[in-house]
A and B are shown apart, each in its own frame.
Chain A
Amino acid sequence: MQEHIQLTQKEINRDLLSGVLKSPKWWLPAVLVLLVVFLIGAAAFGYLLNKGLGVTGLNRPVMWGVYLVSFVFWIGISHAGIMISAILRLTQAEWRRPVTRAAEVLTVFSLIAALLSAPLVHEGRPWRAGFPIPWIMPWDFARGIWPNIRSPFVWDPSAILTYLTASSLFIYVALIPDLAILRDRLSGWKSGFYSVLSLGWRGSPRQWKLQAVAGILLSALVLPVFVSVHSIVSWDFAVNIGAEGWHSTIFAPYFIIGAIHSGVAAVATVMVAMVWLWGWDRYLRPDHFDAIGRLLIVVGTTWFFFFFLEFVFAMYTLEGPELAMRDLQVFQYPWSILFVVFLITAFFFPVPMWLLKNVRRSMFWMFVTTLSVNVGMWLERFIIIIPGLLRRQPLVFDWGTYHPSIIEILMVAATFAWVLLGLLIFARIFPLIPLFDIKEGMVGREEIKIGRRKVAASIRE
């Protein structure tokens, strides 16, 4: 059943601007705690810069540790925004309205978290190489050295920076009408701040039309970028023939669908948090959680199919080193434990749960299951990256072990703090639910009477 709550524009303004116009009680303490965690991570990075990569658990042959896991994880989360907002915009799904902006904002902050996770901190001595992005900035003019575009490490930043630019601008354009609302509600320097940002928006038919076209057109343009980003991240691994388990053609689609799985789950987690923290339960209805739950069933199952293909074709090679690596992943302690936990948290617990309607419509259970997915998906990246590098294979003389050091753990924790901090600060300055989109939904809402039944309907243009 679909419920109807019809609200006036004034009520919508009051509800959804509540986090911007005044600071909720929990806001400042939460921000301070997260800031402390982030600063500890930053201090750990300072220590790393001072002492060198030796303070991490990285050692030959495992030179990519939890930094890379965290990098892939955050790139994965960043796929939520475009999945939700672009695909649902293009398919005109009504339930996208309250979700799009939070998803897009999550994209931006998790992309930055990804950049903080590996590329910027993993250099050893980044200042010598030409901080911040040594391998794509043509730094060494004197010797005529240019970036090697045949390396995936150049493809990668080109894709990520495109994605970051595109999604930030996308958010901004869709924010303009809401900035105008804030401009009209505030006075003094605050109004001035939003006046400048809203560029003198008045709400003429021309401006609204451009907003509508922009939503569709930008979605269509950002989608191909979104697909390319995680494909290219996967190629960082897959074009390599040196590490077992990486050189697989399925990596790009497998990473993409995994990213969508974890990203959409993260959006659902954020949606629950929005209801719990700001009390927006009139906007995020059980219907919305139901819809995202259904979407997650499809995404999760598809992801599992690709995981199955990836695993089956590793066995299909019948190559000794590959089979040894799979044996390590699945049967050797502690990997066996991680593998079981990964499978249960990423698939076997949440997906069957979502088949139950009561679970999909319960915020608590959606919170638990979607959080579980992301625990599993973090482990998935860990299980892909580390065992492949360990070289526990017959006839190999340099086996490795890997334990993340406290420095690595603090820095990874800081990326989580960064994303949460980003969301909280964004929500203090800008509305996290697009007001004009909600209002448009209210205007376009209709009912069709069929006999004794009333069926929810909406106006289509």
Chain B
Amino acid sequence: MRSGSADDGHTAVSGPVEVSRDLLERTRPASRLFWWAAGGSAALLALGVIGFVIRLGDGIEKTDPWGYYAALVAFLLTTAQAAPMVAIAPRLAKAHWRRPISRAAEIFGVVGVLNLILFIPLVWVLPDLGDGRRSLWFFGEVRSMPAHMPHIVTTISMTALAVVGCALLWVSSLPDLASIRDNSGGRRRRIFAKLANGWHGTSRQWFTQYHRLGILGAFYFMMLVFTHFAFSVEFGMSLVPGWIDALFPATHAANSLQAGVATVLVVMFLLRRFCGFGDYIELDQFWGLGKLLFALSLLWFWFWFSSFIILWYGKKPNEEAVLDLMMVGPYMPAFVTAFVLNFVAPLFMMVWNPVRKSIWGPTLVATGVLIGTLFDRIRIYVSAYTVAGAEDKHEMHLPLPPANLPDLADVLLWVGALGGVALVYLMSTRVIPVINIWEQKEALLYKIHKPFHRTEVLVLGKKD
């Protein structure tokens, strides 16, 4: 049921010309707030670089110090890199509410490049398969299998994901880049003419636009799932002696859908609150995404419990050791935080209609989900990197190492990386309008209010 109220229509910005003009104007002069935010993010990024230098001082031979770093890469993979799915999935399902937020989600594709850079040191930190651990590659059994197979496959996968993410963003913004080209002059015009790559809006271009977006979107999703598979197994599970969990790669990917939705929700709130996009990003968007977040939070529990009950019931020594390591042992506080913020809080808050159908409700829950995901990734990767150096690669031996708490370098690295994400995102919005202009104008065609006997109804058209 959609609300039949004024939330659906845009009262302030009504016609296609006004939409174009309004949104184009916003790409022009940056506000003071913008430069303050960008400057602050850059400063944080600088701190991150310092943190990285300190971390490098520990060397790359031992895995323990790099646990928080691995968790950071996993966290960005789970949150920012999954955010474009919020544009892709509802677009494939032809949901109209996605239109004002699809670009804000797609811009996170650029963050993939940052995460790819962050990922590089991990390739050196990860030991090769010569250490005798379990792997997907039958190293030692299959002749000529390189010992660096995990490094190779994951690097290719991370690179492909970043490239597809950027390609998706570029293709989706072609019509908007052309609008900027047509509305500016001089050097700016020449730059955007290059970027718009000859977009003139012919029927043929529009026809291929939908197809390209569909194919790139599907491809991004498949790459995302595969990257989660490769990263979670090669840089996480295989480092833990005796941890065999066929569901884990899927859990990792499913969690990323939840965290991706949460990321976009928070960005939507910021855009609405601080950037004056209240005319575009309305209750409808929060409600649509909030319902999705609710469903994905329930899915979080289901994936977790599906793994947990098997390991708990099986009671093999290795299974008990894994539960001990990641849930009830040294990292219990992190696990409990993740459990509460990713499942319990969303369930008990979003089950209430007034919370679900509000702007603050989904935003609050989404913030919690992001924090929960942070702790979840920490409990998995930090713990994995503390046991990765163990002698026996197939049985976990007790006692488990104590919890590895973050040191100064870890804190600086995390803060710096998050600053970097913000900076990359902010600078991207200088080039690409953060609200999709062409989809917004398209919505005006398909969404009309009309009288129906004694009432007024919303009529939604469906493109084939």
Chains A and B in contact, CB within 8 Å: yes
The one of B247, B298, B452 in contact with A309, judged by C-beta atoms closer than 8 angstroms, is: B247
Q: Which residues of B contact A70 (CB under 8 A)?
A: none
Pairwise interchain contact A235-B309, C-beta atoms closer than 8 A: yes
Pairwise interchain contact B461-A455, C-beta atoms closer than 8 A: yes
A-B contact count (CB 8 A): 111
A247 at the interface (CB under 8 A from B): yes
Q: Which residues of A contact B248 (CB under 8 A)?
A: 249
Assuming the contacts A248-B246, A249-B311, A253-B250, asked whether A457 and B462 have C-beta atoms less than 8 A apart, the reply is yes
Assuming the contacts A1-B464, A91-B93, A241-B316, asked whether A459 and B307 have C-beta atoms less than 8 A apart, the reply is no
Pairwise interchain contact A459-B247, C-beta atoms closer than 8 A: no
* Nearest CB of chain A from residue B333's CB, rounded to whole Å: 24
B463 at the interface (CB under 8 A from A): yes
Pairwise interchain contact A460-B461, C-beta atoms closer than 8 A: no
* Nearest CB of chain A from residue B285's CB, rounded to whole Å: 15
Q: Which residues of B contact A309 (CB under 8 A)?
A: 229, 246-247, 249-250
The one of B250, B314, B458 in contact with A306, judged by C-beta atoms closer than 8 angstroms, is: B250
A253 to B460, CA, bound (A): 34
Cβ < 8 Å to A, chain B residues 110-134:
134
A446 at the interface (CB under 8 A from B): yes
A316 to B250, CA, bound (A): 16
Pairwise interchain contact B459-A458, C-beta atoms closer than 8 A: yes
Pairwise interchain contact A251-B310, C-beta atoms closer than 8 A: yes
B320 at the interface (CB under 8 A from A): no
Chain A: interface residue total (CB-CB under 8 A): 41
Pairwise interchain contact A460-B460, C-beta atoms closer than 8 A: yes
Chain B: interface residue total (CB-CB under 8 A): 42
The one of A318, A455, A459 in contact with B452, judged by C-beta atoms closer than 8 angstroms, is: A459
A155 closest partner in B (C-beta)? B309
Q: Which residues of B contact A227 (CB under 8 A)?
A: 302
Pairwise interchain contact B250-A250, C-beta atoms closer than 8 A: yes
Pairwise interchain contact A455-B1, C-beta atoms closer than 8 A: no
A239 to B305, CA, bound (A): 12
Pairwise interchain contact B247-A253, C-beta atoms closer than 8 A: yes
B446 at the interface (CB under 8 A from A): yes
Interface string of B226-258 (1 = CB under 8 A from A): 000100000000000000111111100000000
Cβ < 8 Å to B, chain A residues 317-351:
317-318
Residue of B225, B303, B306, B452 most packed against chain A (CB within 10 A): B306
A322 closest partner in B (C-beta)? B244
* Nearest CB of chain B from residue A223's CB, rounded to whole Å: 9
The one of B298, B314, B458 in contact with A241, judged by C-beta atoms closer than 8 angstroms, is: B314
- The list of the 5 closest CB pairs from A to B, nearest first, reads A313-B246, A250-B246, A239-B313, A252-B306, A457-B461
Residues of B within 8 A of A (CB): 1-2, 4, 93, 134-136, 138, 225, 229, 244-250, 298, 302-303, 306-307, 309-311, 313-316, 445-446, 448, 450, 452, 457-464
25 example contacts (A-B, Cβ-Cβ < 8 A) are as follows A1-B464, A227-B302, A239-B313, A241-B314, A241-B315, A247-B310, A247-B314, A248-B246, A248-B310, A253-B247, A305-B250, A309-B229, A309-B246, A312-B246, A314-B246, A316-B244, A318-B134, A446-B450, A448-B446, A457-B460, A458-B460, A459-B459, A460-B459, A461-B1, A461-B457
